[in-house]
């Protein structure tokens, strides 16, 4: 390994670093042994890469943060990579109704493959009203998986009396959410979920096991694969909302 006192990448005079300073595009990375997990035999690195982030985040938000109960109703705002994992984890938890909300029809179609019982195109209808009508007043659990102020507020409004709204998306620092003062009478709960409230040493082996049993669809998250040289095209597709997840394959032609 090597270290450098100088940042490898700057924007003007400001050093650019990845989330939590892990240096995702660095050639070398230093991590404590507690941050490592052995990948079980028979599981490819492409699957492991997805488990290490979006799968863990979505699964943990359902199982650890919200503790979704069997027979409950769930609404998921955002049917991207994280949202799809929330949806399939809610299905595993036994939710009776799972509503996917997005503005891209292709993503809503994929959401149904992952376990959504209903879909709402937020570009065509009021998503809050639609969820309230589908659930008879609001969902037991709602999840925001985009990271915007407006969708976070919608997720809260979609929760029914006594319901729980979980903010999974990374809302930009400095943004303030506006919550109705009647929260006291509705007994709603609003909580964040960082990395699915993950218990790394127990959750990751459990996710690998669920995948090996065929209970979690991970390959279906991958929309396209690129060699490393195609990284810019991969980012362009990501910005266009045309993919759930892309895989960069180092050394691929």
pLDDT tens track for 214-225: 999 999 898 889
Report the CATH number at residue 93.
Answer: 3.40.50.720
Please indicate, yes or no, whether the overall pTM of this predicted structure exceeds 0.85: yes
Q: How far is CA 152 from the centre of its chain?
A: 14
The mean per-residue pLDDT over the stretch 174-195 comes to: 91
In a domain, 204, yes or no: no
pLDDT tens digits along 80-135: 999 999 999 999 999 999 999 999 999 999 999 999 999 999 999 999 999 999 99
Query: Do the domain assignments include residue 9?
Result: no
The answer to whether residue 69 is domain-embedded is: yes
From start to end of the chain, where are the E strands?
10-11, 14-15, 73-77, 97-102, 118-121, 139-144, 159-167, 189-192, 222-227, 245-249
Closest CA to 171 of 158, 182, 184, 156: 156
Structural domain count of the chain: 1
**Residue 100 belongs to a domain:** yes
Residue span of the structural domain in which 152 resides: 48-197
Work out the end-to-end distance of the chain between its first and last CA atoms, rounded to an integer number of angstroms.
27
Q: Does residue 23 form part of some domain?
A: no
* Cα–Cα separations (whole angstroms), residue 122 to 99, 104, 147: 12, 9, 16
């Amino acid at each position: 390994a090597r270290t450098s006192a100088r940042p490898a990448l700057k924007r003007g005079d400001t050093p650019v670093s990845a989330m939590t300073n892990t240096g995702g595009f660095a050639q070398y990375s230093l991590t404590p042994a507690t941050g490592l997990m052995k990948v079980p035999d028979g599981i490819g690195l492409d699957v492991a890469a997805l488990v290490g982030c979006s799968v863990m985040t979505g699964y943990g938000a359902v199982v650890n943060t919200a503790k979704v109960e069997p027979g409950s109703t769930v609404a998921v705002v955002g049917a991207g990579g994280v949202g799809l994992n929330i949806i399939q984890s809610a299905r595993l938890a036994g939710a009776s109704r799972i509503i996917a909300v997005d503005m891209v029809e292709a993503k809503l179609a994929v959401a149904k493959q992952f376990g959504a019982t209903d879909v709402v195109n937020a570009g065509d209808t009021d998503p809050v009203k639609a969820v309230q009508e589908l659930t008879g007043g609001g969902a037991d659990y709602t999840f925001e998986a985009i990271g915007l102020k407006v969708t976070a507020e919608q997720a809260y409004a979609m929760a029914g009396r006594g319901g729980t709204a979980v903010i999974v998306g990374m809302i930009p620092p400095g943004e303030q959410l506006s919550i109705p003062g009647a929260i006291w009478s509705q007994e709603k709960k609003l909580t964040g979920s960082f990395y699915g409230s993950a218990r790394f040493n127990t959750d990751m082996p459990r996710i690998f096991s669920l995948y090996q049993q065929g209970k979690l669809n991970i390959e279906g998250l991958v929309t396209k694969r690129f060699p490393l040289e195609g990284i810019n095209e991969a980012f362009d597709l990501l910005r266009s909302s045309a993919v759930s997840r892309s895989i960069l394959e180092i050394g691929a032609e």
